[in-house]
């Protein structure tokens, strides 16, 4: 223990030290008011040997929180009933070990590798949209299990992301390697685009698009030029927001509330922004992300952020703190070579306030279903 007399330090330094200690104590108390219990509920994998063709690029839960859709390199959209996956845990008293062949309710084959999936708002979880490596956006009717709309206007260049508007769910948007973000409306003759923007002057790939789910006309666009952009869909001539701070590609953008957005970059950072002031609020570090798409999802009710990592782990951040509050490694059940895998997609179940569920997909096709319950809530 140091034993210095107060004469060795100016009074102002002593006061500053006391203020720092008080601030640290307040932060510790704030952290203690919210504690979580994390538990692995189910692991879904394939019985055959792991293969690159199993890699999952998208895991999407519907608005009800009970239907889970996955897609990726295997050229399949698989649909699961989440409550059934969780019920297996209750029956067995621990994490259920399941096989895709028996765990999924049904699947549909697709003509190309899938990069993203989105449930269409207002469709009663009947319609899901997909984007693929061949540059095509397709909508599927899940009841009839057939495609009902298709558009191919990105010149065959891979479409990384697609989303639907929440103020007019028929309207969609897609972002592609061709450097454009396009908005389209199937009600227009031929489903032609209603707007096209090229955020980067150098035509850098557009890696993500997301409409603001809280209303308003803002759509977020993340680019390989290290920036995230915001456009007002009512006036698409120029961006109304440009967010600079990432050192590499902006791979994901997700709205946390009506004026807060989170972005993920291949610089290994998540960043939270005030969209009205275009101000950086906080940077989150801990996961590994240098070149791959590792997923980003937000649980809006609880203010939690989830992402994957290139070291095969799932990371959860509380929006208030820059360091992760929970990390879980993907264990390779009955498989070899897991040290080379990575977590490639994540999705939060949005229903409920006292607990939540996070689904994560891996580069080997493995799914993990993670339950979280609040132990202390101040």
Whether the Cβ atoms of residue 183 and residue 194 lie closer than 8 Å to each other: yes
| CA dist 103 → 40, 73, 214, 228, 351 (Å) | 16, 19, 33, 38, 22
Six-digit token string for 185: 């409306």
Mean pLDDT of all residues in 36-59: 80
pLDDT value, residue 316: 96
Confidence of residue 4 (pLDDT cuts 50, 70, 90): very low
Whether the Cβ atoms of residue 223 and residue 204 lie closer than 8 Å to each other: yes
What percent of the chain clears pLDDT 70, i.e. is strictly above it? Answer: 84
pLDDT value, residue 29: 45
pLDDT tens sequence across 336-374: 444 578 999 999 998 877 788 999 999 999 999 999 887
pLDDT value, residue 216: 83
Could you tell me whether strands 206-211 and 172-176 are parallel, antiparallel, or unpaired per DSSP bridges?
A: unpaired
SS3 of 7-38:
HHCCHHHHHHHHHHHHHHHHHHHHHHCEEEEE
pLDDT value, residue 190: 67
Six-digit token string for 25: 């104590």
pLDDT value, residue 338: 44
Is residue 125's pLDDT more than 90? yes
- Whole-model pTM: value is 0.87
């Amino acid at each position: 223990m140091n034993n210095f007399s107060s004469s060795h330090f100016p009074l102002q330094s002593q006061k500053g030290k006391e203020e720092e200690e008080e601030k640290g104590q307040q932060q510790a108390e704030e952290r203690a008011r919210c504690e979580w219990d994390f538990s692995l509920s189910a692991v879904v994998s394939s019985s055959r040997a792991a293969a690159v063709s199993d890699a999952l690029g998208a895991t999407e839960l519907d608005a009800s929180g009970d239907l889970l859709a996955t897609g990726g390199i295997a050229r399949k959209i698989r649909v699961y009933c989440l409550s059934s996956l969780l019920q297996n845990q209750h029956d067995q008293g621990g994490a259920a070990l399941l096989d895709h062949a028996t765990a999924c309710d049904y699947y549909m084959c697709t003509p190309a590798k899938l990069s993203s999936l989105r449930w269409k708002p207002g469709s009663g979880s009947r319609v899901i949209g997909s984007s693929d490596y061949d540059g095509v956006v397709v909508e599927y009717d899940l009841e009839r299990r057939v495609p009902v709309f298709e558009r191919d206007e990105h010149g065959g260049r891979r479409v990384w992301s697609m989303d639907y508007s929440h103020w007019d769910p028929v309207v969609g948007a897609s972002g592609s390697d061709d450097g454009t973000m396009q908005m389209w409306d199937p009600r227009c003759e031929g489903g032609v685009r209603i707007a096209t923007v090229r955020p980067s002057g150098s035509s850098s790939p557009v890696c993500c698009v997301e409409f603001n789910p809280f209303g308003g006309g803002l759509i977020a666009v993340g680019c390989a030029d290290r920036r995230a952009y915001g456009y007002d869909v009512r006036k698409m001539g120029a961006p109304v927001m440009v967010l600079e701070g990432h050192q590499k590609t902006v791979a994901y953008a997700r709205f946390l509330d009506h004026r807060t957005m989170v972005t993920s970059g291949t610089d290994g950072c998540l960043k939270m922004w005030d969209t009205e002031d275009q101000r950086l609020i906080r940077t989150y570090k801990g996961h590994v992300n240098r070149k791959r798409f590792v997923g980003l999802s937000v649980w809006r009710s609880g203010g939690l952020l989830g992402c994957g990592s290139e070291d095969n782990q799932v990371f959860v951040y509380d929006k208030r703190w820059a360091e992760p509050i929970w990390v879980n490694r993907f264990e390779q059940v009955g498989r070899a070579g897991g040290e080379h895998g990575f977590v490639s997609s994540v999705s939060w179940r949005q229903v409920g306030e006292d607990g939540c569920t996070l689904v994560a997909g891996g580069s080997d096709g493995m799914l993990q279903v993670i339950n979280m319950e609040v132990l202390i809530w101040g």
